[in-house]
Copies of this chain bind each other. A is one copy, B any other.
């Protein structure tokens, strides 16, 4: 079927999220209390999360109903389109057929609101009045500001100071939706004041911002914390992406042979592919090849260790079993800020460790080269994060050109690049470079993993 864009009606919006924990061959290793090294209990988390989300985090039910109020808001932009990238295929002279899911149509411009809306709903139901969070590049802070506004909750965003200073547009987007944005470290929290006292001129870091948001939530009765990736319930909420993709490929009468996605914390790609892996785990279908695409300068899945580690630099979170470069690994300042994370989703890590998913690392210059080709053939200007999987698709399509294979390739278009145009400007003017591969730094930080 030669169609550019496969849309679904509002009534085809999935009614349930798919929980892959139900189908894992062996259970996920539990998060551990960093003091006792014992599995954490629901009560350990109740100071910062509502019980409904804690239950989802630990659930092994295969299907979890999407509340009507959440679906009503999803309907503002979902179901999102599945595209056939025919102009890109033509430019590559490939016999492969290339498809992508386009999450850039949401008001904040990415997949992040799929979980921001759900998390806000459950917090609102629990009587919470304010949510605190951190944001680096601003995608997650935007999504949560958007979601909290629609449920009349307040939102406090600790934004890494260097982003706060440089990314005016992202900050104003959050404020337009009513989010209160503070440069982190701030003097709003005890740990923030400590960070500032230690280094008054610090540019901040995601690790510091997480610490501030968690402290804010833990020390205020009416306030909870929300995380935009990594955790199981975040992966769960994102499966709305993959469930739509399955319907859309059915309409297109195609089956994907290889699926690519960019992976930082893992949520957009997990959302896209967990329903496919689930079918495999249930013996219902052969799995496509599934490939996570990460930056060569932060190669968590390709060069990291599968081990227990902290989720944050400040060592405040539970220990998670995941691929990690070590909690004090500091990635180079590449433009794909959303992929600069030392760890990864425990679910995605386990599935990678057990061979259900592959991973590749991409160089920044290659990534922008492919992003430019995509913009100039398909029109959409992608976020630098998304551009990582586009590059992998381009490479695979060129291999197909050599072998003559008519493979069906897919990538998850996690977000648009409207606020990343400075990065494109840098690329167009030869100012994008590839940081040195961080082999020694990884060795050092991995040697400091906590003992379990």
Contact = CB atoms under 8 A, between A and B. Distances in A.
Interface of A: 3-5, 7, 9-10, 72-73, 75-76, 83, 87, 105, 107, 109, 146, 149-150, 168-169, 172-173, 175-178, 372, 375-381, 418-419, 421-422, 424-425, 428
A10 B178 CA distance: 36
Given A4-B75, A107-B381, A421 B172 contact: yes
A5 B75 contact: yes
- Which of A146, A149, A379 is the most central at the interface, judged by chain B CB atoms within 10 Å of its CB? A379
Given A10-B4, A105-B105, A150 B379 contact: yes
- Which of A75, A109, A169, A172 is the most central at the interface, judged by chain B CB atoms within 10 Å of its CB? A172
A7 B4 contact: no
A262 to B, nearest CB: 19
A109 B176 CA distance: 19
**Secondary structure type dominating chain A contacts:** helix
A268 B386 CA distance: 31
A9 B175 CA distance: 35
A389 to B, nearest CB: 19
Number of copies of this kind of chain in the complex: 2
A421 B172 CA distance: 6
A172 B429 CA distance: 11
A176 B105 CA distance: 20
Contacts of A83: 76
Contacts of A177: 375-376
Contacts of A7: 7, 9-10
A172 B425 contact: yes
B425 A76 contact: no
A173 B381 contact: yes
A108 B75 CA distance: 23
Give the 8 A-B CB pairs with smallest separation, nearest first.
A107-B379, A4-B75, A172-B421, A418-B418, A172-B425, A169-B421, A176-B424, A107-B380
Given A169-B421, A379-B150, A175 B5 contact: no
Nearest to A428: B175
A376 B172 CA distance: 13
A376 B154 CA distance: 12
A175 to B, nearest CB: 6
Contacts of A378: 76
A424 B178 contact: no
Contacts of A87: 150
22 contacts: A3-B10, A3-B75, A7-B10, A76-B378, A107-B380, A150-B377, A150-B379, A168-B422, A169-B418, A169-B422, A172-B422, A172-B425, A173-B381, A173-B418, A176-B375, A176-B376, A176-B381, A176-B424, A176-B428, A177-B376, A178-B376, A418-B418
Contacts of A10: 3-5, 7
Nearest to A106: B379
A178 B150 CA distance: 39
A87 B76 CA distance: 10
Nearest to A71: B4
Contacts of A422: 168-169, 172
Contacts of A75: 3-5
A32 B380 CA distance: 40
Contacts of A424: 172, 175-176
A251 to B, nearest CB: 10
A376 B149 contact: yes
- Which of A4, A72, A372, A375 is the most central at the interface, judged by chain B CB atoms within 10 Å of its CB? A4
A7 B12 CA distance: 12
B4 A176 contact: no
